Amino acid sequence: MDNNRILISRMKFIGDIVLTTPIIQALREKYPNAFIAYLGEREAVTLLNNNPYLDEIIPYDFRVPSVIEQVRVISLIRKKRFDIFIDLFSNPRTAIIALMSGAKIRIGKNVHGRGRFYTHQISDDGKSKTAVEFHYQYLKPLNVEPKYWQTKIFLLENEKKEAKNLLSSYKLNTLRPIIGINPSATWPSKLWPVQRFADLANRLERDFNFQVVFIRDPDKKEIYNTLKNLINPSIKILDVLPLRSLSAVISNFNLFVSNDSGPMHISVAVGTKTVGIFGPGQEEIWFPYRPPYYPEGQSHIALRKDVLCHPCHLNICNRPASEYMRCMNLLEVDEVLQHILKRI
């Protein structure tokens, strides 16, 4: 099996793809001579560029009509003659790609009867797992033992240098502490109030003389339109950046505060101390950045308030007005500030 051609696929979502990096390393160690490739959304998989454990990255373009892109990718994969297809997504699209790939070994989860598309089905044993532990289940048929747990994005020196130059263009001094903030998230239910992010940033700058900078999400213009009217004029809001440039910028921060989102996972993977703000999601699954997998000292922490409706996994809160977004609204600026000051 060491000479086999292996294709891993986690098709979408920035954080989810970053959370697969430990199993890539484990798979490479088990099969050092295998050809290992990765299939995923075109922009998100750029985070895997320069990963020394991968031989090839195959981008999937969701801007192209579904059937056309699916046919293109299946044709490409078949030409590459993969022996093993590891489908970490297991949705209808990827199940079909796996089936049509020509791979003799196809590993995926049995969701809504799609198990028949795979030669090896991953079942849920009912035990709570971190996202990384969940991914390791897909390697059991290949006799890969769980060994690596820390996520990694591999940045080039020129990327780091360009990031420093970019920050300098915003009048930020990388020799002084910089705190980065991400006030955005894909789900509305994961958004800590913009006013509190603004209050936090203003206090960090005014009371502790930290440099504070917000990263920008192009899909959440309303957040930044509100934010710019609430923050001190000296606090910066960066322009929208490609993911690798964003990763390099975040690597220059001394600490990063973020809602539960892709940039939160990027921050940990580039080695920046991270404070994650959680609401409807389960931090025990989606924030696996604690001992025993990460060193003592708590460089990273997930903050969440206990409410009866947690975890709801809803993208929009459905609670009555008196309880609306309670999981996020209960978290005060003072508490977040306290955890920042412990880590910087």
The CATH number for 117's domain is: 3.40.50.2000
Percent of the chain with pLDDT over 90: 92
Determine the Cα–Cα distance for residues 266 and 229; give it in Å rounded to an integer. 28
Which stretches within 219-332 are classed as H helix?
A: 221-227, 243-250, 262-269, 283-286, 326-329
Asked if residue 150 is part of any domain, the answer here is no
Asked if residue 224 is part of any domain, the answer here is yes
Query: Average pLDDT, stretch 158-176?
Result: 97
Q: How confident is the model at residue 1 (pLDDT cuts 50, 70, 90)?
A: low
Q: Do 115 and 84 share a structural domain? A: yes
Q: Do 165 and 138 share a structural domain? A: no
Q: Which residues pair with 254 in a beta bridge?
A: none
Evaluate if pTM is beyond 0.85. Answer: yes
Question: Would you say the C-alpha torsion 33, 39, 42, 46 has a positive or negative sign?
Answer: negative
Take residue 186 and report the two structure tokens written for it: 């894909």
Q: Do 287 and 208 share a structural domain? A: yes
Instruction: Annotate 226-242 with b (16+ C-beta within 10 A) or e (fewer).
Output: bbeeebeeebbebeebe
Count Cα atoms within 13 angstroms, Cβ side, for 292: 3
Query: Average pLDDT, stretch 107-123?
Result: 92
Q: What percent helix, strand, coil does the chain show, rounded to 5?
A: 40, 15, 45
Asked if residue 51 is part of any domain, the answer here is yes
Residues 289 and 296: beta-carbon distance below 8 Å: no
Q: Which residues lie below 8 Å from residue 158, measured CB to CB, with a gap of 6+?
A: none
Asked if residue 152 is part of any domain, the answer here is no
Domain end marker among 91, 110, 142: 142
pLDDT at 297 over 60: no
Determine the Cα–Cα distance for residues 160 and 178; give it in Å rounded to an integer. 15
Count of domains for the chain: 2
Take residue 197 and report the two structure tokens written for it: 């992010």
Q: Do 161 and 138 share a structural domain? A: no
How far, in Å, are 41, 190, 204, 249, 286 from residue 12 at the CA level?
Answer: 6, 19, 35, 23, 15
Query: Average pLDDT, stretch 132-141?
Result: 96
pLDDT, one tens digit per residue, over 214-235 is 999 999 999 999 999 999 999 9
Q: Do 171 and 92 share a structural domain? A: no
Asked if residue 123 is part of any domain, the answer here is yes
Give Cα 64 to chain centroid, integer Å. 24
Q: Do 165 and 94 share a structural domain? A: no
Domain end marker among 111, 142, 173: 142
Q: Which residues pair with 60 in a beta bridge?
A: 41
Q: Do 262 and 175 share a structural domain? A: yes
Asked if residue 148 is part of any domain, the answer here is no
Q: Which domain holds residue 249?
A: 157-343
